[in-house]
Structure 1
Amino acid sequence: MKRMLMTSRYWVYALLAVTFMASCASSKKSASPHAYMTKQYKELKNVLNEAEVSIIRDSLKVIFPNNVLFASSSDELKPEIKPTFEHFADVLNKYNKTKILITGHTDSTGSSSYNRELSENRAKRAKDLLSEFKVNDDRMFTWGLADRHPIATNNTEEGKAKNRRVEFVILYEVKE
């Protein structure tokens, strides 16, 4: 079951990446999207101490743990995250050839409609804060995934805490 969940999660991310790339695609490509994304990855790794930053081909993934961003059952960002988001926004603004998908997640506690709304609101709050730091709204898209893609078990408090998160998928935008 766990393997199936992991596989389905990767398919969802792959589908999202293809969808975004298709929406951004043109007949011309930049000289080196990989080098561009690798450079951005290195900067994000240096700037974001509490986030998990990974590179997958020519896209980046940033996961902020819920305990850093939100109180339990809340979509209100903690005030102490603002300096980190300001640094995050600075890097996003510097590397403006990207689109950002912001996904909100919850644990399995609560009804599916409550979790869907909470995850959507978490993603929107993260987007709003990045907007305050001048990240262009046209580059950001939000999606609430509720409890559909857990990264840990929902049978323990520690696992639930890991599942309550916001993830950022940063994709290279091919421009004409």
Structure 2
Amino acid sequence: MKRMLFTTRYCLLALVAMAFMASCASTRKSSSPHVYMSKQYEELKNVLNEAEVSIIKDSLKVIFPNNVLFASSSDQVNDAIKPTFSRFAEILNKYGKTKILITGHTDNTGSADYNRELSEKRAASAKGLLSSFNVNNDRMFTWGLSDRDPIASNNTDAGKARNRRVEFVILYDVKQ
């Protein structure tokens, strides 16, 4: 009887230990995207002095101001930014479990059609530059938002300058 009670205790202890280990493994797996994105955030923050880098839950946002990327009313990427984009692409390539949404933005100056087209071309140019540094095109998506998502007032020159930008939203690819 005593031996049976002793064996039952060990079985019960073994079951509790297995349940605990299983719960720890699932917790570690579910926090994995957060850890992965946090590491990428730290690297981007250290490398991209020209951009504003932020983390929102398990996604990252990188904002390059217009004056850094493009000349006024242009969709051609400035040559001076290419070394920065090379470093940006290097980190994106290191963290291949992500998708990248590239959005182009304008201020409210000009016609809606012009701004839409310009924002689309700017997003495509930024994608093309990253692609030239071997970031996989299947990971990148572009969207021209025109003046629909301002981050500052369009009533001042400073506000308009902030609204003319390209943003990169980096998302963890749950299918990986």
TM range (shorter): 0.7 to 0.9
Write out the 4+ residue segments of structure 1 that deviate beyond 2 Å after TM superposition.
Answer: none
Count of matched residue positions in the alignment of Structure 1 and Structure 2? 148
Counterpart for residue 17 of structure 1: none
Larger radius of gyration: 2
Contact map agreement 1:30 1:174 (CA 8 A) in 2? no
Deviations 1:29-70 (A, max 9, x none): 766000000000000000000100000000000000111001
Residue 157 of structure 1 deviates from its aligned partner by 1.0
Secondary structure of the residue that 2:149 maps to in structure 1? coil
Change in 2 beyond 3 A, CA 1:32/1:72: same
**What TM-score, normalized by structure 2, do the two folds share?**
0.82
Would you say 1:70 and 2:70 are equivalent positions?
yes
Unpaired runs of at least 5, structure 2: 1-28
Change in 2 beyond 3 A, CA 1:56/1:31: closer
Supply the AA of the counterpart residue of 1:131.
Answer: S
* Equivalences for residues 49-128 of structure 1 within 5 A: 49-128=49-128
Unpaired runs of at least 5, structure 1: 1-28
Alpha-carbon distance in structure 2 between the residues aligned to 1:75 and 1:152 = 21
Higher helix share: 2
Alpha-carbon distance in structure 2 between the residues aligned to 1:129 and 1:155 = 32
Secondary structure of the residue that 2:167 maps to in structure 1? strand
Secondary structure of the residue that 1:32 maps to in structure 2? helix
Counterpart for residue 22 of structure 1: none
Contact map agreement 1:89 1:130 (CA 8 A) in 2? yes
Counterpart for residue 163 of structure 2: 163
Deviations 1:108-166 (A, max 9, x none): 00000000000000000000000000000000000000000111111111111100000
Indicate the structure whose relative CO is greater, using CA pairs within 8 Å and at least 6 residues apart: 1
Deviations 1:91-114 (A, max 9, x none): 000000000000000000000000
Secondary structure of the residue that 1:101 maps to in structure 2? strand
Contact map agreement 1:52 1:64 (CA 8 A) in 2? yes
Secondary structure of the residue that 2:73 maps to in structure 1? coil
Identity %: 78
Alpha-carbon distance in structure 2 between the residues aligned to 1:175 and 1:137 = 17
Counterpart for residue 175 of structure 2: 175
Contact map agreement 1:120 1:144 (CA 8 A) in 2? yes
Alpha-carbon distance in structure 2 between the residues aligned to 1:33 and 1:163 = 30
